[in-house]
Amino acid sequence: MAKAGLEARVSVIIRSTAWLGIVAHTGFIPLFALCGQPGLAAFNVLSVATWVLAWLVNQRGRSTLAMWMLTAEVALHAVLAVMKLGWDSDFQYYLIPLIPFMMFNDRARTGVVSAASGIVLASFVALRWLAPASVAVPAALAAFRYANLVIPFLMLGLLSYYFRLASTDVERQMTEIARTDPLTGLLNRRRMEERLAEEAALHRARGTIFSVVLADVDRFKQINDEHGHDAGDRALSAVAKVFQSTLRAGDAVARWGGEEFLLLLPGTELKAAEDVALRLRAAAEQRLAQLDGLPGALTLTFGVSSYAANASVETCLKAADRALYRGKAEGRNRVVVSA
């Protein structure tokens, strides 16, 4: 369902199932004629036209209107067919997929859809009491019963499939929101803490190494005070893009807090981590020299440390933090490695 974007989810179903409705209604025309039901045969000609028209309406972005057109057609068709051919013809089963079909429309009002679903359910129950048992000839009745069991189940299967896609997409989006910083799109602090714990566990189990780099935007408070928080947000987003485009595959970067960023470099020793930080510092200095809304170049200061055996993640982070603030004290826009 992610591909649907802002489009109503039900429009995807209409596009995918229109052919099924058109083919099914077309096939019923000769069957109704053989049963001596020319009225129903003629009605099915209108049904085919309605499905084609609903498909065209849906293509123009009017998915809710198309949904109501198809809902009305299917419901009226089912009621007329059951009253004419009897309950044993199984046309009443077409009413069942209508309820999830309407409920799946995220643009239709909940109260309206709920009321319509109640009407569909009441129609199903009423048909059980009002419709005759069977009117159709036995041969045609058998054909109807097979078709009217298979087609509604196909519809339910398709609806369930799209329900599954929608549910999976929502879960993915919620997971993404829980793990990322909304401004920069980088990992958030919580997710980075999980990654650090994972790397520490790998170190204890396999002896793997990793390093961290703490980066801080120089004079960020001045940017906010003199140019406003919008300028500060643009600055942070620009820094994030530099990190995302420069870091190696397998590295991770998070917005650690405010104007601070934390980089996790798995399988990287201290000297190699310093090289990564130097490359990032140069890229930031070059690419952020002229940022819209800021009069001067945007620079960063980096503190680098490596995870030591029998130490803690907190110790590693504190070492990077001390190196970072030593870099700030020495003039900013530089890389300092933890002792």
Q: Which residue has the higher pLDDT, 163 or 70?
A: 70
Residue that is written with structure tokens 């130097």 in the block: 278
Residues making up the chain, counted from first to last: 339
What mean pLDDT do residues 53-74 have?
93
Nearest to 324 by CA among 182, 214, 189, 173: 214
User: Would you state the pLDDT for residue 107?
Assistant: 81
Q: What is the mean pLDDT of residues 288-294?
A: 72
Rounded mean pLDDT, 23-42: 89
- Rounded to whole angstroms, how far apart are CA atoms 178 and 199? 20
- In the numeric block, the tokens 């590693």 are attached to 316
Counting Cα atoms < 13 Å in the Cβ hemisphere of 182 gives 4
Q: Which residues contact 321 (CB under 8 A, 6 or more apart)?
A: 214, 303
Question: Is the per-residue pLDDT at 3 higher than 60?
Answer: no
Q: End-to-end CA distance of the chain, in Å?
A: 51
Residue type, 210: F
pTM over 0.75: no
Neighbours of 59 (CB within 10 A): 14
Inter-residue contact 278 to 270 (CB < 8 Å): no
Structure confidence at residue 295 (pLDDT): 61
178 exposed, middle or buried (CB, 10 Å; 0-12, 13-18, 19+)?
exposed
**Mean pLDDT along residues 186-197:** 94
Cα–Cα distance measured from residue 75 to residue 90, given in angstroms and rounded to the nearest whole number: 13
Instruction: Kindly state the average pLDDT of the residues 173-178.
Output: 75
**Sequence ranges of the domains in the chain:** 2-179, 189-337
d(CA 56, CA 63): 10
Q: From edge to edge, which strands make up the β-sheet containing 260-266?
A: 252-257, 260-266, 210-217, 300-306, 335-337
Closest CA to 156 of 115, 98, 106: 98
What is the structure's pLDDT at 290?
74
pLDDT in the model for residue 259: 94
Q: Mean pLDDT over residues 207-214, rounded?
A: 94
Structure tokens at 12: 């995807």
User: Where does the pLDDT of residue 2 fall: very low under 50, low under 70, confident under 90, or very high at 90 and above?
Assistant: very low
3-state secondary structure labels for all residues of the chain: CHHHCCCCHHHHHHHHHHHHHHHHHHHHHHHHHHCCCHHHHHHHHHHHHHHHHHHHHHHCCCHHHHHHHHHHHHHHHHHHHHHHHCHHHCHHHHHCCHHHHHHCCCCCCHHHHHHHHHHHHHHHHHHHHHCCCCCCCHHHHHHHHHHHHHHHHHHHHHHHHHHHHHHHHHHHHHHHHHHECCCCCCECHHHHHHHHHHHHHHHHHHCCCEEEEEEEECCHHHHHHHHCHHHHHHHHHHHHHHHHHHCCCCCEEEEEECCEEEEEEECCCHHHHHHHHHHHHHHHHHHCCCCCCCCCCCCEEEEEEECCCCCCHHHHHHHHHHHHHHHHHCCCCCEEECC
The residues facing 212 across adjacent strands are 264, 305
Sign of the CA dihedral 237, 239, 242, 248? negative
Mean pLDDT value across the chain: 89
Q: Which fold has domain 189-337?
A: Alpha-Beta Plaits (3.30.70)
